[in-house]
Amino acid sequence: MIRVLFVCLGNICRSPMAEGVFRKMIHDERLENLIEVDSAGTSDWHIGKSPHKGTLSKLAEFKVSADGMVGRQLTVKDAGDFDYIIGMDAENIRNIHNLFGDHDHQRVLRFLDLTSHQKDVPDPYFTGDFQETYDLVLEGCQSLLELIKKEELSK
Ligand code: 4NP
């Protein structure tokens, strides 16, 4: 099993959006027996909470399920549990490396570095633009699936 973890600050806007979109993509490509997906936040601010209503309505609009999504905080154990740890922005990436410390991980990637954009995923908690974030998340998920196919599934 290949395990993918999306990470943002709060685990209520960007990373649950990516989790839902990527899970649907995996389902549509019949890869659910090969790839698992989860999300977490670097902060403890929204532990136990549902995704933001803006993320929930964007996922519903595009028929992406948000079933069972509950906010949780990233832990050191995640370094061992996941093969790909995908941060939404440069601050997430710094926080992930700081937390992991000696348990540092080969595959901590900034999401949009996998695309032609090479930038942070804008945080709709602050921008209010969930569509802009959705469009970039969709592109990032397509690129991530291509990477995993190339690195893992062609073996
Ligand atoms: P996220 O967005 O990291 O994409 O989930 C945020 C959610 C909550 C807060 C900041 C960013 N907050 O300040 O509570």
28 catalytic, yes or no? no
* Structural domains of the chain, count: 1
Whole domain around residue 80: which residue ranges?
2-153
Residue 73's pLDDT is what?
98
Q: Which position among 38, 78, 120, 123 bears the catalytic label?
A: 123
Which of 41, 38, 39 has its CA nearest to residue 10?
A: 41
Q: Whose CA is nearest to atom 12 of ligand 1?
A: 10
CATH label of the domain that carries residue 88? 3.40.50.2300
Token pair of 117, please? 């954009």
Question: Over the stretch 41-95, which tens digit does the pLDDT of each residue have?
Answer: 999 999 999 999 999 999 999 999 999 999 999 999 999 999 999 999 999 999 9
Residues flanking ligand 1, CB < 6 Å: 8-14, 45, 123, 125
Q: Per-residue DSSP letters for 90-124?
A: HHHHHHHHHHHGGG--S-EEEGGGGSSS-SPPP-H
pLDDT tens, position by position, 113-148: 999 999 999 999 999 999 999 999 999 999 999 999
pLDDT at 104 over 90: no
Q: Answer yes or no: 123 catalytic.
A: yes
Residue 11: left if φ>0, alpha if ψ -120 to 50, beta else—which one?
left
